[in-house]
Chain A
């Protein structure tokens, strides 16, 4: 699938949407009585076009992770609905690498295929698994255990595990928050590269504005369970045209600084109201 052109979020759901969310509300019990409930997200409408990269930003507790879990199907809705129009699978990259410590790198990357197709069909997927490992540059550590890897390598294993099922929809939950800045940028570029070659739809949660700008086509600022504003990312097009080490160049452009300011202002404004 090719990245679709930018899409007006206010239009009706169309065949172009990979995910359609309508009037979505999630409530959690918040006290002893059954009536004590807190709304994590409230009346959210969202369309995510095929191949688009969407960043959800906001302060902690604003519901962005809940929304991501709704999209993943890991969180059921109290009201409303969330429909997927893709035919393929959905993958999720967690904040921590979340590798199974008793499995080697290869075993960890193989896990989704084992779960979806059973062990017997593994041999037919063996080449996919090896290709994926090569893509994230881990083919020479396939036989290592997670404890033998650095934090960045573990995260790449986690990304490989998400990619091995050839997902149509990739969800990232603050995946690089625990890593240092340089690694963060490198992994961000890896994700961009993979998005270009695979063409999946991507939704990522982050509280890092720069990361949101560098890795998305559209930024949703969330506040208290609602989407306060949706911003088209003017940098996204520029980045597509730039070379492999584009992130550093883009960070220095006035356009980046300007959009950074816009997102930051919206975050502050949402906090004030």
Chain B
């Protein structure tokens, strides 16, 4: 027993110390790396704003054509309530649309993975959705669905759907051959294989698709709002942009533009965060 105890201890301690070492490096490196990232991005931003400011002054551009960054900031501050409300509305539209796209995309992909015939028949139409310009179908959607929040969601879902369906479908077919053999060997049913192998494998791909679509969702929502908010209570960033364009309030317009960029980042961050918190075990590559 006295001989065995230290061996037991050894066996247990070696892998654990390895785990701590890995986690320590993953904690320290990203912090310094994130700091470096933030610094370099900030330097570029400051430089860009400076160049912008100086060019406006040198070329004496009228405020209506291009205001200085400071004027944009002031306009943003003056309209802060409206901007925040509109951003919230647009964010909700984009987030709900992304969620709906993931649900519809997931169901479609699972159907495609189960039937080659259905996949062959319907997948080209999903690609077709991708090629249809949203600006072209938005008026049609308004005729069918009205000047409503719902219409903006439908338009945004159409934009987001393709990357998601494409990625999940790929993911469902990306199981490693040994894993497929393993499931066959133990007589797994089609259902068992889907739930225990294909779906878990595809989550990594879904997260990739959702990240791409998070950017598209904000774009889609704003473009849809250009059309939908025309004369309705539904006021998102797209509505503000069209209104301020009409009033030639270029400074406020640019402030809204800035907000829309932040929205894209926020949604991207949200998707990433959800992935990190809930799906790490599926996104890790062994």
Binding site for B on A (CB under 8 A): 69, 72-74, 89-92, 94-96, 98-102, 111-112, 114-116, 137, 140-141, 144-150, 153, 165
Chain A residues, Cβ within 8 Å of B197: 100
Which partner residue on chain B sits nearest A95 by CB separation?
B178
5 residue pairs, one from A and one from B, having the closest CB atoms: A101-B286, A98-B178, A115-B186, A102-B281, A115-B188
Contact between A101 and B185, CB atoms less than 8 A apart: no
Contact between A148 and B188, CB atoms less than 8 A apart: no
Partner of A94, one of B178, B192, B284: B178
6 pairs, CB–CB < 8 Å, chain A vs chain B: A74-B181, A100-B179, A101-B285, A111-B186, A147-B284, A147-B286
Compute how far the CA of A115 lies from the CA of B180 in the bound complex, rounded to whole angstroms: 13
Compute how far the CA of A96 lies from the CA of B178 in the bound complex, rounded to whole angstroms: 8
Binding site for A on B (CB under 8 A): 11-12, 15, 18-19, 176, 178-179, 181-188, 192, 196-197, 200, 281-282, 284-286
Compute how far the CA of A98 lies from the CA of B187 in the bound complex, rounded to whole angstroms: 17
Contact residues of B: prevailing secondary structure: helix
User: Closest CB of chain B to A200's CB: distance in Å?
Assistant: 15
Q: A112-B186, A115-B186, A149-B15 are in contact. Are A92 and B181 (CB under 8 A)?
A: yes
Contact between A94 and B186, CB atoms less than 8 A apart: no
User: Closest CB of chain B to A26's CB: distance in Å?
Assistant: 16
Contact between A73 and B15, CB atoms less than 8 A apart: no
Chain A residues, Cβ within 8 Å of B188: 115
Compute how far the CA of A94 lies from the CA of B183 in the bound complex, rounded to whole angstroms: 13
Compute how far the CA of A92 lies from the CA of B182 in the bound complex, rounded to whole angstroms: 8
Chain A residues, Cβ within 8 Å of B179: 98, 100
Which partner residue on chain A sits nearest B12 by CB separation?
A140
Contact between A74 and B196, CB atoms less than 8 A apart: no
Contact between A114 and B15, CB atoms less than 8 A apart: no
Compute how far the CA of A114 lies from the CA of B12 in the bound complex, rounded to whole angstroms: 28
Compute how far the CA of A193 lies from the CA of B224 in the bound complex, rounded to whole angstroms: 68
Partner of A141, one of B15, B178, B184, B192: B15
Which partner residue on chain A sits nearest B193 by CB separation?
A115
User: Closest CB of chain A to B192's CB: distance in Å?
Assistant: 6
User: Closest CB of chain B to A220's CB: distance in Å?
Assistant: 22
Contact between B284 and A101, CB atoms less than 8 A apart: yes
Known pairs A90-B185, A102-B282; list 20 more (Cβ under 8 Å).
A72-B181, A72-B185, A73-B185, A74-B185, A92-B185, A98-B176, A98-B178, A100-B197, A102-B284, A111-B182, A114-B192, A115-B187, A115-B196, A116-B186, A116-B187, A140-B11, A148-B15, A148-B19, A150-B15, A150-B18
User: Closest CB of chain B to A37's CB: distance in Å?
Assistant: 21
Chain B residues, Cβ within 8 Å of A99: 286
Chain A residues, Cβ within 8 Å of B12: 140
Which partner residue on chain A sits nearest B178 by CB separation?
A98
Q: A72-B185, A94-B178, A147-B284 are in contact. Are A100 and B15 (CB under 8 A)?
A: no
Contact between A146 and B185, CB atoms less than 8 A apart: no
Compute how far the CA of A137 lies from the CA of B183 in the bound complex, rounded to whole angstroms: 25
Chain B residues, Cβ within 8 Å of A73: 185
